[in-house]
Structure 1
Amino acid sequence: MTTPLLAFNDKGIYCAIADVYLDPWKPVTNAIITHGHADHSRWGHKNYITHKTNVPIILHRLGEINVSGVEWNETFTINNVKFSLHPAGHIIGSSQVRVEHKGEVWVFTGDYKTEDDGISVPYEVVKCDTFITECTFGLPAFKWTPQAEVMENINNWWLENQAEGKTSILFGYSLGKAQRLLKYLNPEIGQIYTHGSIENMTNVLRPMVEFPKTTLITRETKKEELLGNIVLAPPSAHGGTWIRKMTPFVTGSASGWMAFRGARRRRAVDKGFVLSDHCDWYSLLDSIKATGAEKVICTHGYTDIFSKYLRELGYDARTEKTQYEGELSEIDKTEE
């Protein structure tokens, strides 16, 4: 029996021929990192390789590490195994990893979405034999509304709250979601205030993307300054003393999970907006078909249901357990 090009072990996704791991969750010597979210880029590896736009992100989050950045589609070879990174469209700097050896091609998606958000490099279809895919939202119930429509609803919600003399507090993960929201908030409505974790991450990304002006909330910020304006905050700030001093306010959350009935109530927010940085059910299926892959490995999300459906379609599909958490993981461990 031949050894697979990529295998799953207790440290991560391993290419034994090259002695390289993809997004390992335990410390290893050589790690290729798809993007900056906490479950995919962890501290403790000896050598990191990632896309060059992800370098400042993981340096900001992990501190001093030995990291090298590569371009899109740039091939680098390790022990006769060819690697290259391709846009995943998930967040800024997010990549898929293409791995080729002796004519066999595998692709690991990391996290990805196919809708062009206007700030990430759009998802690129990469042909392969085996496709390792997330399926965070791998249920038919998940079908996303176009981003432009969601952002129009968010700006209208802000206007309504402003008319009532209230502060709008919008929750989104400090890396990715917050910047996507910020990019399309209408600064003509009012001022955009930020929690420190979002302000710091946005400042890392400003050299790459043009964002509206933001104002950091500090201890000196008075709640009267916030009235009628909008505050971007990470989900971890909800319910804390930081937010209570902003009354009167209205809360909103932007997440794929808001598609579930009851999610808004469980998260104790006033308004839910369905906006995800992952594929919906239909985008997952279209992406898999476009790769031409015969074998599909589902790594996180609704893996059992999704892989079963793929087998019914004729794919050689299976699941593998990982420590990737999809959209849940983006509640950043460092954002407090």
Structure 2
Amino acid sequence: MSAELLSFTDRGIYCAEGGFYIDPWRPVDRALITHGHSDHARWGHGHYLSTKQALPVMRHRLGDIFAEGIAYGEPRQIGGVQVSFHPAGHVPGSAQIRVERGGEVWVVSGDYKVEDDGLSEAFVPVPCHTFITECTFGLPLFRWQPQAVIAQQLAAWWVANAAEGRSTILAAYGLGKAQRLMTLLPDAGPILTHGAVEETTRILRDQGYNLPPTIRVTAGVDAKSHPGALIIAPPSALGTPWARRFGPSAEAFASGWMALRGIRRRRGLDTGFVISDHADWPGLNTAIRATGAERVFVTHGYTTPFRRWLEEQGYDAGIVQTEFGGDEADTDTEAEPDSAAESEAVVESKLL
């Protein structure tokens, strides 16, 4: 009997016949990368392979790396297996990685969402026998409203703040979420950006992604120079001297975690907008069904309850311990919940 197509090691998801790892968290010789967020694309590997769209941001973040970009859907023979990258819908350039050997197919999802946000390459289900899926929001309480509804809420909040003479500061992760929010509000007024957000925005804009004009916050750029502007910054900028330069302001965080009242309270936020670059509960289930997989491994998120749910639906399900995710304040990812958030979410789900 041949060995499993992919195995789970202390360095990452490994393909012995191809001699590569997928999104490894410790240095390896050959790494296939699903997307540019820092928990999936890490420094120190000998050779990187990602989509052509993900590569510019990876180079910006990781520095001088030996890396190659591949087109979506392009087959590549690596050792004894064939691999290809397919849209994940998570952020621009994100991919699911398909690995095939002798007709047996595994797919590693990385991170994904099934709603087409109009910016990222839209999620495409990839038929497979074994699917390795995230479950960041793998509880029934996580159900996202349509993006158009969130856009209306954001616009109304921005207008109300301006009418009250307050600046509007919106916290969002710097790759994907920040740019997605810009595209939702392209004509409502000027958009100012923190340097960390602007650098990524510039790279994506130079690649041809359709993003509205933005103004980087530098000396002399403040509430007086641009009254009524929307300011987009990483979460770590909230409550700092950088944010206070804009005077009286309303602050909000755009994240799937805003669905949990406890997190909103702990952050002391005026407002939270529930919008995520990860699949919600219906999205996870829809994506898994669409693969036709018989076996499903779950990675980061609510792994234990989600695996139990999958087993109840008849899947052969297991948990993969990974190092994906990070501290919730990280500017790159919507990370795994802390223990307090997890307990709260489980309780809320049982009340549904």
For Structure 1 versus Structure 2, the TM-score category normalised by the shorter chain is: over 0.9
Cα separation, 1, equivalents of 2:126 and 2:294: 13
Instruction: State the aligned residue count.
Output: 332
How far apart, in 1, do the equivalents of 2:330 and 2:295 lie? 28
| Structure-1-length-normalised TM-score | 0.96
Structure 2 contact 194–234 (Cα < 8 Å) conserved: yes
Is 1:191 the counterpart of 2:190? The answer is yes
| Correspondence for 1:143 | 143
Aligned mates of 1:232, 1:141 — CA distance in 2: 28
Measure the CA separation in 1 of the matches of 2:330 and 2:76.
29
Cα distance in 1 between the residues matched to 2:59 and 2:254:
26
For residues 43-69 of structure 1, give each alpha carbon's deviation from its aligned partner in whole angstroms, at most 9, with x where no partner exists. Answer: 000100000001111011111111111
User: 2:205 matched to 1:206?
Assistant: yes
Identity %: 50
Deviation, 1:2, is 4.1
Kindly indicate whether the alpha-carbon contact (under 8 Å) linking 2:255 and 2:276 is maintained by their aligned counterparts in 1. yes
Aligned-residue offset at 1:223: 3.5
Please list, as runs of the form range in 1=range in 2, the aligned pairs for 1:215-226 lying within 5 A after superposition.
215-226=215-226
Aligned partners of 2:327 and 2:190: how far apart in 1?
28
- The Cα of 1:239 is off from its aligned counterpart by 1.9
Q: 1:85 aligns to what?
A: 85
Distance 1:288 1:173 in 2: 26
**C-alpha distance in structure 2 between counterparts of 1:116 and 1:330, whole Å:** 24
What CA deviation, in whole Å up to 9, does each residue of 1:73-98 have, x standing for no partner? 10000112000000000000000000
Deviation at 1:327, TM superposition (A): 9.0
Letter of the structure 2 residue corresponding to residue 38 of structure 1: S
Q: Give 5+ residue unaligned stretches, structure 2.
A: 334-352
In 1, Cα distance between the equivalents of 2:252 and 2:58?
28
CA contact (8 A) 1:193 1:214 kept: yes
Structure 1 8/309 Cα, relative in aligned 2: closer, same or farther at 3 Å?
same
After superposition, residues 79-158 of structure 1 pair within 5 angstroms as 79-158=79-158
Inter-partner Cα distance in structure 1 for 2:183 and 2:115 = 15
SS of equivalent residue, structure 2 residue 212: coil
| SS of aligned partner of 2:250 | strand
Q: CA deviation at 1:329?
A: 7.8
Residue 245 of structure 1: how far off its partner (Å): 2.0
Q: SS where residue 143 of structure 1 aligns?
A: coil
Give the equivalent residue in structure 2 for 1:176.
176
| Partner amino acid, structure 2, of 1:143 | R
Deviation of 1:262 after TM superposition, in Å, equals 2.6
2:269 maps to a residue whose letter is V
Between 1:217-226 and 1:96-105, the stretch displaced more is 217-226
Q: Contact 1:255/1:274 (CA < 8 Å) preserved in 2?
A: yes
Task: Give 3-state SS (helix, strand or coil) of 1:119's partner.
Answer: coil
* Deviation (angstroms), 1:332: 3.2
Tell me the TM-score normalised to structure 2 length.
0.92
8 Å CA contact 1:37–1:329 kept in 2: the answer is no
| RMSD (Å) for aligned C-alpha atoms | 1.4
Paired with 2:4 and 2:184, the residues of 1 have a C-alpha distance of 44
Partner of residue 318, structure 1: 318
Distance 1:92 1:265 in 2: 31
- 1:255 matched to which residue of 2? 255
Contact 1:155 1:186 in 2 (8 A): no
Unaligned 5+ runs, structure 1 = none
**For residues 287 and 182 of structure 2, what CA distance do their matches in structure 1 show?**
28
Residue number in structure 1 paired with 2:163:
163
Deviation of the 1:214 alpha carbon: 0.9
Quick one: distance in 1 between partners of 2:147 and 2:330? 19
